[in-house]
Structure 1
């Protein structure tokens, strides 16, 4: 994987994204030239229309990211990718209409746009047809040697077997630190020179997956391996990179303290994030006010009780605040004010509530909290004080998620279904810690784009 702005991007995704962007530029130019040819006119130099071509390519590329064209399923299935490409291009047409309205100088003629879209679909589909097998082949995967043969090594092996995995196991070296949990592990005592063994297997990376690290880390071996140019990575960092979350089972405080990250409080990025929140939240409140009011009327007509409700949540640095939401459950959903986890097919959800939950309309009033500065658009979801007190007692490092401002959407929300148990909360915490540790404006933009996919295909919405 390649680390861009502190976030890990698979090589195959980056390669395909670059190829796609080039195709979009060529499709835009092709559509332009085709229309000029029909008119028997002079096309002029390409540089004169470069802003138009960039607007076309960037808008469609963002749309493709948003609907999940670069997910594992899309990379593995041509049919799945084709369906997502159609949605991306359709959404791209709507976004381009907005771009052309705001910046008329970037406008394509309608016929140009039609030709460019057709060429783009043909080009993007052809690339996936031609490169589909190559993108998933072992030739583009990292070869990893694992130092260790216990439970941790078995986890590395399981990750390598996942569909869409970007790595292949070159071998295991048993370090005499416990019982073996993987097959075909070579004992360290049987290897005369570990660095030669690593190079002989063609490994580009060594993962330190020891069960017991105290006085067991082979420093001399690792130093020699490192000086040969092979990357050496510890188990926790490896899991963070491969899974997109901070693994609580292997975590220790020193790793959190000495690893890079946790820079969400940097002044410049913080100012930019706040300005974005103010501008966008104000725009959303103005644009969606008719929808919010119409939904409120529908809620009142269906069931007794107020259309809006306030609920206390825990925010930045553990301070509580009130959020405003459209009511999606019965008025008596929580007897005596006792907090209850939402469940799949929850009987307390009304008919209108089921619709607005899937479309995330019930979340729109929370933009008021964003405008006031109590929340951000991107961040860990704020939980209720009753749940927080219980989770802090049960889950290590849970309070660390409150070191960043809570959000309407977040890294956990786009990667994990709606949490309804302690085990779910634990896994969501691992994603929240990854976000807090690796925050950057780039990651925020990525999350906002992929929220489109969650809204269009609302898996796990409750």
Structure 2
């Protein structure tokens, strides 16, 4: 039911959003040419742009997550994404007009358009939120619900339903056999036991029931469902293994047997992985060609600065836990394998050369990894690969550490642009890596690359 309501609301949202695009263009044209007597294109000439702008806005809004169930996302998040999408669509339109050498369209109209679209769309969404909240506050479309159980799941569910009031659920109380009547859980009162369930459903006019008790109590579980079905109320089961399921689980089936993938990885999709790989190949090839003069300067500098090889190769753990050799410009004095593979680099590490310290600070030592990307060992964006020695340690100490190997490692990543690099928290780094893995989109990769260019290369934790 929650998903059905969300789908209906999304359809309304799409219609309203795209209506704002049309209205904004009409008003932008009117504002620009009201009482204007000079030569200009008639409005009919601007109508074809709607064939581009309407689907483009829908695509960008969808791509930026404006039609997802946002739940705890703030209004400011929504406003930021709307402005971002509208700006991108206008830039695309400007670029297209430049390519086809269309000089008669009024740029002022298009500037008015992006401003008005942003204002109208934000106002429309704020208004829709206010209307929905007003409907809920007046008691319309509310569902009176009951929670069965007083465990950890019941507490989480009670808090979630109260925080997301737009869903329209009003918790009447909690039913549990092991907790005394009158006791409160997450601000909700226990109003009876399982034996009282049927009477409570009738007297309190319950619409829906959430069962949070463990399925190991099979007899009690079956009895609760029997009472719910007899009373004609909708029943939702909160599985007691929910803590193992991510925010976006992937549901599949084999011959009617349901399967829940506890770690949804968008890049498991062949087409998405192929698109990312093509992008990696194109950018790494161009990057290697462009960086050749820089490579030459660094190579000469390393040779002059200290004896030893120019390129430093080191075994790292990559996609599907397979080892590969990762390349970097040498930034330290020549070491034994024991030193290089089992010692962590620190801020005042005396193994670094003078030039090596500069290369590490600016991350220029990572440039040879463009070759790793071209070969397919790495990607431009992904979790940073680690040495086998440390992987064996971290997988025992850091929960979910090995999940990072579900995708190709990257030259840069979400953890790195957020400052988690060098000798910093491994747990925080893994949190960022898992967020990236579960929420990957092409636009997310572009965002990380752009942020890397502006603040990711030179970082205080890069040493």
Fold-level similarity (TM above 0.5): yes
Choose the corresponding residue for 2:318, options 315, 318, 321: 315
Q: Tell which has more relative contact order, 1 or 2 (C-alpha 8 A, sep 6+).
A: 1
Deviations 1:79-100 (A, max 9, x none): x766666566555554545555
Asked if structure 1 preserves the Cα contact closer than 8 Å seen for 2:176 and 2:190, the reply is no
Q: 3-state SS of the aligned residue for 2:197? A: coil
Q: 1:111 to 1:138 in 2, by over 3 A?
A: same
Root-mean-square deviation over aligned CA pairs = 6.0
2:150 aligned residue: 149
1:218 CA drift (Å)? 0.7
Distance 1:258 1:46, change over 3 A: same
- Greater displacement, 271-280 / 421-430: 421-430
Q: How does 1:111-150 map to 2 (within 5 A)?
A: 111-127=108-124, 129-131=126-128, 133=130, 139=136, 145-150=146-151
Shift of 1:149: 0.9
Cα distance, 1:118–1:195 mapped onto 2, change above 3 Å: same
Partner of 1:170: 171
In structure 2, do the counterparts of structure 1 residues 134 and 107 end up closer, same or farther at CA, with 3 Å as the change threshold?
A: farther
Q: Is residue 150–residue 211 contact of structure 1 (8 Å, CA) maintained in 2? A: no
1:252-291 matched pairs, under 5 angstroms: 258-260=259-261, 269-271=269-271, 273-279=273-279, 281-283=281-283, 285-286=285-286, 290=290
Q: Is 2:193 aligned against 1:196?
A: no
Q: Residues 187 and 365 of structure 1: is their aligned pair in 2 closer, same or farther, counting only changes over 3 Å? A: farther
Worse-superposed segment, 47-56 or 284-293: 284-293
1:75 Cα shift?
2.9
How many pairs were matched up? 427
TM-score normalised per structure 2: 0.62
For 2:253, the equivalent position in structure 1 comes to none
From 189, 208, 212, the equivalent of 1:209 is 212
1:110 pairs, out of 107, 117, 120, with 107
1:149-170, Cα deviation, whole Å (9 max, x unpaired): 1233233345456699968672
Trace 1:4-19 onto structure 2 (pairs within 5 A): 19=16
Structure 2: gaps (5+ residues): 251-257, 350-355
Distance 1:288 1:91, change over 3 A: farther
Task: Give the deviation of 1:282 after TM superposition.
Answer: 0.7
Structure 1: distance between partners of 2:17 and 2:40: 30
For the 8 Å contact 2:326–2:369, the answer to whether it is kept is yes
| Alpha carbons 2:213, 2:221 under 8 Å: kept | no
What's the secondary structure of 1:192's corresponding residue? helix
- Secondary structure of the equivalent of 1:258? strand
Q: Please report how far the alpha carbon of residue 194 of structure 1 lies from its aligned counterpart in structure 2 after TM superposition.
A: 8.1
Deviations 1:157-186 (A, max 9, x none): 454566999686725534446898645233
- Distance across 2 between alignment mates of 1:173 and 1:401: 40
Summarize the Cα distance change of 1:170–1:347 in structure 2 as closer, same or farther, 3 Å threshold.
farther
Which runs of 5 or more residues in structure 1 are unaligned?
247-256
Shift of residue 217 of structure 1? 5.8
Report the CA distance between 1:324 and its aligned residue: 4.6
Tell whether 2:420 aligns with 1:418: yes
Pairs within 5 Å for 1:321-332: 321-324=324-327
Structure 2 CA distance for partners of 1:102 and 1:307, relative to 1, 3 Å: farther
Give, in whole Å, the separation in 2 of the partners of 1:146 and 1:237: 16
Which residue in 1 is equivalent to 2:20?
Answer: 23
Shift of 1:115: 2.2
- Do the aligned residues in 1 keep the contact of 2:378 with 2:411 (CA within 8 Å)? yes
181-190 or 110-119, which deviates more? 181-190
Question: Taking structure 1 as reference, are residues 188 and 102 closer, same or farther at Cα in structure 2, changes over 3 Å only?
Answer: farther
In 2: Cα distance, 1:34 partner to 1:446 partner? 34
Quote the residue 1:253 is aligned against.
Answer: none
